[in-house]
Amino acid sequence: MEGKAEAVTMNPHNDELLSKQIMRQEAAAAEKQEIQMQCDDAMKPNDGELLSKQRMKQEAVATEKEGIHMRCDDTITDQEMNKIELMRALVEKQDPSSKNDFHVPCLKEIDDYALRRFLRARDLDIEKSAAMFLKYLKWRQSFVPKGSISVSEIPNEIAQNKMFMQGEDKQGCPIAVVFGGRHIQNKLGGVEEFKRFIVFALDKLCARTSPGREKFTIIGDLQNFGYCNSDVRAYLAALSIVQDCFPERLGKVLLVHVPYIFCTLWKILYPFIDNHTKKKIMFVENKRLTATLLQAIDESQLPETYGGKMQLVPIQDA
């Protein structure tokens, strides 16, 4: 009997059937989870999010201990200054018009911190940073020829009353609140007006920063977000502008009141988000919403709708 049992166990035909059965089960499980996997991963605290939470807790403890708001005074290092000078020279060599007053904006008006942002966005690679910066100059000259976007150029976007700005977080970064459930595809002004609105808002935020404290924080509120708000073309355009034209400006994005329906949109957008930006996005649990926000933002600077004391101010009035 023992010899017969051993023969059955070692039968290659049985092993092959067992292997095929296991493969079919794995394939079925993979097919079942394929759609949800990426969104589920985003909604669960990954290593980056856990580290982010740990850093915010440490910052909160330090703030309480010192009795002051934490500030991020990021001075330029000698190594960075050397690369900035090399980058500036390379930009002038590749585009001599960049140093003229008639260039909008001209290179001499760009401070060292601005050039450093482009360097950091390309991991301090001088040639890649210079190419990125030259592309930005051309974009700015054609898209914002007057130097800024006026409210009269974005009436349909302003009418949706979806973006607000007030206060600053514990690192001194200005805060904007965006209500995704209020955004509807702009059929009158199209994507171009939406892009102008994004530049208008980003310029407003950047105007509230200072050298060494150059980033801003976004609270993305997705309450009541539905299919009608899933404007993929507009969101991809916004991503491109933030990543390509305003590098190293985004400090963090805190997504709150995230509905399951957002997972479909997230799966589409995720591949277009660069790795630097992905690390700055955090999904906040509803049950810990106020507590999580208070780790990064003082109660006096947190909007009332999240348990703070700050009133929401429309972006155009801020």
| Percentage above 70 pLDDT, the chain | 74
Residues composing the chain: 318
> For residue 41, how far is the Cα from the chain centroid?
17
Closest C-alpha among 86, 90, 70, 68 to residue 78: 86
Contact 228/184 with Cβ under 8 angstroms? yes
Residue 304 token pair = 């009332």
| Residue 174 DSSP label | E
Helix (H) or strand (E) holding 205: helix 190-207
> Model confidence over 44-86: pLDDT tens digits?
444 444 444 455 555 444 444 343 334 456 889 999 999 999 9
Contact 63/69 with Cβ under 8 angstroms? yes
250-256 and 163-168 beta bridge pairing: unpaired
How high does pLDDT run on average in the chain?
Answer: 82
Contact 44/36 with Cβ under 8 angstroms? no
Q: How confident is the model at residue 24 (pLDDT cuts 50, 70, 90)?
A: low
- CA R_g for the chain: 25
Inter-residue long-range contacts of 281-289, CB under 8 Å, 24+ positions, other chains counted: 281/252, 281/253, 281/255, 282/49, 282/52, 282/53, 282/252, 282/253, 282/254, 282/255, 283/42, 283/43, 283/49, 283/255, 283/258, 284/254, 284/255, 284/256, 284/258, 286/256, 286/257, 289/256, 289/257
Sign of the CA dihedral with 23 first, then 25, 30, and 31 last:
positive
Mean pLDDT of 223-251: 96
Find the range with the poorest average confidence among 28-32, 180-184, 244-248, 262-266.
28-32
One-letter identity of residue 311: Q
pTM of the model: 0.77
